[in-house]
Structure 1
Amino acid sequence: MSTRILVLYYSHHGATAAMARQIGRGVGEAGGETLLRTVPKVAAETRVASPDIPDDGPVYASAEDLSACDGIIIGSPTRFGNMAAPLKYFLDGTAAQWMNGALKDKPAAVFTSSSSLHGGQESTLLSMSLPLLHHGCVLVGLPYSEPSLSSTRTGGTPYGASHVSFGDNAAPLSDDEAVLCRALGRRVCTLAARLKGSHV
């Protein structure tokens, strides 16, 4: 049975979704299966605004996806140095999975995008790591053995993959950003496969 990695994200303008697809490619390069999932927007009253399954693209995540995966990678655009409300709302509803250890000992990583170079990327990545630590995940970052981490002039951090659009919501990922996204997917998948094999 292949290693299944849940790539869970919220994307407003499409950059975070583009990163999620590159991360999924990296999972595939490592021989794994990607469960690409998103979350719905929330209304001003902090409730799900559009609960119907989208006509196209990734389906909305369910709490059961946390149990079904061997590793998880979550992503969000920056919102004042924090994750966006829709992703936080979803994670806040995973207490039952926390209690039964659905993510315990599974590798996890984070990714983000922002419109400016100093848009709060690292604090967003760190804030997304907190619920993963509470779930008992094994956090995975990007080591400097990845050459693109040193050569990038846009996104990319040791805390996780990132993208900077410089105010252009349609800006594609830079080559370095795409490479680092794939590297993160490969790394989580490889570690998940090792951990999964050690429990047999």
Structure 2
Amino acid sequence: MPRFLVLLLLLAATLTLARAVEQRALTSVTSIANFDRFACSTPNKLGFEVRQNVRTYQVFFGRMYLLEPGLGNGLVPVGVAPSSGRNVAAYIQTTDPFVVPFITIPPGKTNVTSFDVASFNFGCVYGPGAGSAKALSVCIVTVFGYNNGRCVTSQKLTFQPGRTTNAKMTKAQLNSAFKNLDRVEFATTYHSTVKQGGATYIDDVKYTVHER
């Protein structure tokens, strides 16, 4: 057998082995962030930023705040009820383009290579300071998926509760392109009558973290 052919076969075998080792070294863990492991000090008031407890979820929630909607006893007479438990992650309406709610890989987590987001539940309300909800709000939530600073996918989702004072969350099933990301951003467009004081609630975020 010619020498160059032997070298070519050895190179191919080495590359195949390297890929196999890399694949074995990667692990994927699927979790659901429901934000119920934390206690809200005061119902209907925005609490601490979720990112302060990022170790619980292995991803970093930025510009989202812990909130227990309703009366503090699980009842939500006005607004959007959590899809599970009593707590949600909430972000408030703002005109500041630099204040963007997001999920990303935690700083210093060098073993995490990327993550996927499969689904979450959401709803929108109107209330001063995004605390005690005054009413529901129709809204469109746009989700953007990024990899290495480039937006690789996006999806628009609509919450339309109808004429009622309270409602269940809407299930958002994301498309298959929301995989192998390093950042996900959220943007909400509220009903035209909601100029300020709008808030978006998110619960039961299903995601998969890929670790080396």
TM (norm. structure 1) is 0.29
**Higher Cα radius of gyration:** 2
TM-score w.r.t. structure 2 length? 0.28
